[in-house]
Structure 1
Amino acid sequence: MRRTSKLVSGLTAAITGVAGPAMTAQPASAADSAPVGWATQGGGTTGGGNTSPTTVSSSSALSSALSSGSTAVIRVSGTISCSGMLRVASNKTVIGNSGAVIAGCGFNVSNASNVIIRNLTFRNWNDDGINVQYSTRVWIDHNSFSNGYDGAVDIKRASDYVTVSWNRFSSHDKTMLLGHSDSNGGEDRGHLRVTYHHNWFDGTNQRHPRVRFGNPVHVYNNFYSNIGSYGVASTCEAGVLVEGNYFENTKDPFHRGEGSSPAGNLVARNNYFVNSGSGSAGGSVGSIPYSFTLDTPSSVKSIVTGGAGAGRISI
């Protein structure tokens, strides 16, 4: 069954105690000064805080600054060409000056906590764009990703308290993986709690996100446009709340199970569909513990296209 320009209201499956009604009086800000969602938990995510910034414009300087054991605010200037993965240590804010580009490589946030990555354009990476593993309290915000090799933003191996917001993804296949393996439940159960909001999936193919074990994972107010394979997939004991999103020209907005991975739980409500399928949901999802603003689903396309991606915030 296909639906055109129709807002689907109410729960399509049972949900366990979503925290209070979301505030709807004001639209979400495209230039939040602090994260919303899971990155506010566990003590919050402040990155380098008010540390005096250091500006880098070469691969060697960037790599050195990212891996330093010191708290830091790192400003990226110009186009930095690199390969492989640059490790990001704890207590870092990495933020791009106007037009900053990371070309050919990605960031590996590994065994770290309290990391912010904002306002960067990642393209043509030869591994992942951003990989988060064994890390907590991470905010990935207002970046642009295109034409990379593997995942654009992959989060795995017991990582927790992450928000992915206001990013734009285009010209890419495997967009966002949450949980890398069906066999990694021993590490991942009780973790992999991530919020995805106000992202623009612009003609990408799959994994927006593909979820294992995380519960609850919150996917709200994203714009899905011309999606090739599918939008959201919940697998392997996951619990995913999909609400207030705008799906346009997306035959398969969301479903349970993917490939050889068994079905997880997925609750969908108040999504808006234009020339798209209606999705498949079932099961129950854990409660959302934080406050957030839910934009009117029919307005999400204009809000997200007007604010998502690098270069859309003042630095």
Structure 2
Amino acid sequence: MKVTQLKVVFLAAAVAAATSAVAGPIGYGAATTGGGSKSPVNVATLAEAQAKINAYTDNSGLVLRYTGKFDYNTITDVCAQWQKPAQTLEIKNKSNITLIGASDSSANFGIHIAGNAHNVIVQNMMIGLLQGGEAADSISIEGMSSGQPSNIWIDHNTIFASLTSCPGAGDASFDGGIDMKKGAHHITVSYNHVYNYQKVALNGYSDSDTANANARTTYHNNRFEHVKSRLPLQRFGMTHIFNNYFNDVQTSGINVRMDGISLIEANYFENVKNPVTSRDSSRIGYWELRDNYVGSGITWDSPSGAVNATSWGSTQSYGPTGYSYTPLAGANVKAKAIATAGARTNLAQ
């Protein structure tokens, strides 16, 4: 056996040894327990899931197991999707909820966690090719006048759309993948696989979203491939981004703006345009870079006012995260992400 083959075998064995069922969130969303040990209630459709949530009024704990199956092959024209009405599961002003997809489930609706909603888990969902354009995010977490969501865990989901340019839709034929805004805070986004998305992850909806200064978000062990931008697009607040795999990013990667700060640690970048940047807002953001693996295919552009991490140097110290974690070496992140990120991986770590 060749040396290169041995390396692959040993790396695969190391990743396999590290893959075990996930016990709980790491990071800013670590306090999230969702519906806890409540017995799961099976729901097979958006309507059934919404009815169960609407009927749940005491916040004592609710676990929904989504068993529905959507055949994405029935969508013969992806450009027809954005003109159809959005379909969204609303978890609004409700707390202590887990939504977990069955091992072979698939969905064609988004999930909106909003207002005074706390302690919510979304796990093992496959969500793809949503209808509704700008009105439809795959997963959206949003503060409202009734409150700001907190303690949210978005884990082991597969989210996909299409990069097809649809006439009349602009860049909104499919909107956000995993978006949060208006003060949503203490969130962990882990082990998700997002692909074929134009706008992956918004964190702060505009330069005037000052409530996002309270945002605390951890992104770890996610797999982002064949996407355009927003990995995340961060305005204000603090993000810790570690052990993620970024590949085939066509416009920009991590874009930190409006005085936000990010700890970008032990990630794997390859074939990425503008992997770490600050651009397109009235004020720049800042980052601390630690131990990232930078592979081939890294390119940059420099529009007016942009600041790029071309030398892979830090611009500001992040300070302590306030939680315990053990990052994998950046060079090993790609293999682990491919083995563990997304739905249908048995929640492997």
TM class by shorter chain equals: 0.7 to 0.9
Give 1:166-315 correspondences, 5 Å limit: 166-185=191-210, 187-189=211-213, 191-215=214-238, 217-256=239-278, 258-277=279-298, 280=309, 281-313=314-346
Larger radius of gyration: 2
| CA deviations over 1:90-114 (Å, ceiling 9, x no partner) | 11000010121121x2111002000
The structural deviation recorded for 1:259 is 1.5
Q: Summarize the Cα distance change of 1:116–1:54 in structure 2 as closer, same or farther, 3 Å threshold.
A: same
**Greater percentage in helix:** 2
The structural deviation recorded for 1:230 is 1.4
Contact 1:30/1:166, CA 8 A, preserved across alignment: no
**Greater percentage in strand:** 1
Contact 2:20/2:347, CA 8 A, preserved across alignment: no
The structural deviation recorded for 1:28 is 6.3
Equivalent position amino acid for 2:218 in 1: T
Identical aligned pairs, as a percentage?
32
Equivalent position amino acid for 2:331 in 1: S
Equivalent position amino acid for 1:32 in 2: V
TM-score by length of 2: 0.77
User: Which residue is 1:85 aligned to?
Assistant: 88
| CA deviations over 1:140-190 (Å, ceiling 9, x no partner) | 0000011171110001111111000000011110000001111121x222x
The structural deviation recorded for 1:255 is 1.0
Equivalent position amino acid for 2:287 in 1: L
User: Which residue is 2:122 aligned to?
Assistant: 117
- Asked whether 1:151 is paired with 2:176, we answer yes
- Asked whether 1:64 is paired with 2:51, we answer yes
Contact 2:258/2:281, CA 8 A, preserved across alignment: no
Give ranges in structure 2 of 5+ residues lacking alignment: 1-16, 72-84, 143-147, 163-173, 300-307
The structural deviation recorded for 1:262 is 2.0
Output the aligned Cα RMSD.
Answer: 2.1
Q: Summarize the Cα distance change of 1:100–1:231 in structure 2 as closer, same or farther, 3 Å threshold.
A: same
**Secondary structure at 2:249 match in 1:** coil
Q: Summarize the Cα distance change of 1:155–1:61 in structure 2 as closer, same or farther, 3 Å threshold.
A: same
1:131 is aligned, of 140, 162, 178, to 140
Equivalent position amino acid for 1:131 in 2: S
**Secondary structure at 1:164 match in 2:** strand
User: Which residue is 1:39 aligned to?
Assistant: 29
User: Which residue is 2:112 aligned to?
Assistant: 108
**Secondary structure at 1:115 match in 2:** strand
Q: Which structure has the higher relative contact order (CA within 8 Å, separation 6+)?
A: 1
**Secondary structure at 1:38 match in 2:** coil
Q: Summarize the Cα distance change of 1:294–1:29 in structure 2 as closer, same or farther, 3 Å threshold.
A: farther
**Secondary structure at 1:277 match in 2:** coil
**Residues in 1 aligned to 2:193 and 2:282: alpha-carbon distance in whole angstroms:** 27
**Residues in 1 aligned to 2:159 and 2:20: alpha-carbon distance in whole angstroms:** 18
Q: Summarize the Cα distance change of 1:198–1:30 in structure 2 as closer, same or farther, 3 Å threshold.
A: farther
Give ranges in structure 1 of 5+ residues lacking alignment: 1-26
**Residues in 2 aligned to 1:305 and 1:56: alpha-carbon distance in whole angstroms:** 29
**Residues in 2 aligned to 1:106 and 1:80: alpha-carbon distance in whole angstroms:** 13
| CA deviations over 1:99-144 (Å, ceiling 9, x no partner) | 21121x2111002000000001011223101110120000000000
**Secondary structure at 2:346 match in 1:** coil
Q: Summarize the Cα distance change of 1:307–1:94 in structure 2 as closer, same or farther, 3 Å threshold.
A: same
- Asked whether 1:96 is paired with 2:120, we answer no
Deviates more, 1:27-36 or 1:147-156: 27-36
The structural deviation recorded for 1:285 is 2.2
Contact 1:155/1:192, CA 8 A, preserved across alignment: no
**Residues in 2 aligned to 1:268 and 1:226: alpha-carbon distance in whole angstroms:** 21
**Residues in 2 aligned to 1:299 and 1:268: alpha-carbon distance in whole angstroms:** 17
Flag as ranges the 4+ runs of structure 1 deviating above 6 A. none
Q: Summarize the Cα distance change of 1:80–1:90 in structure 2 as closer, same or farther, 3 Å threshold.
A: farther
Equivalent position amino acid for 2:272 in 1: T
Q: Count residues in correspondence.
A: 282
Equivalent position amino acid for 1:175 in 2: V
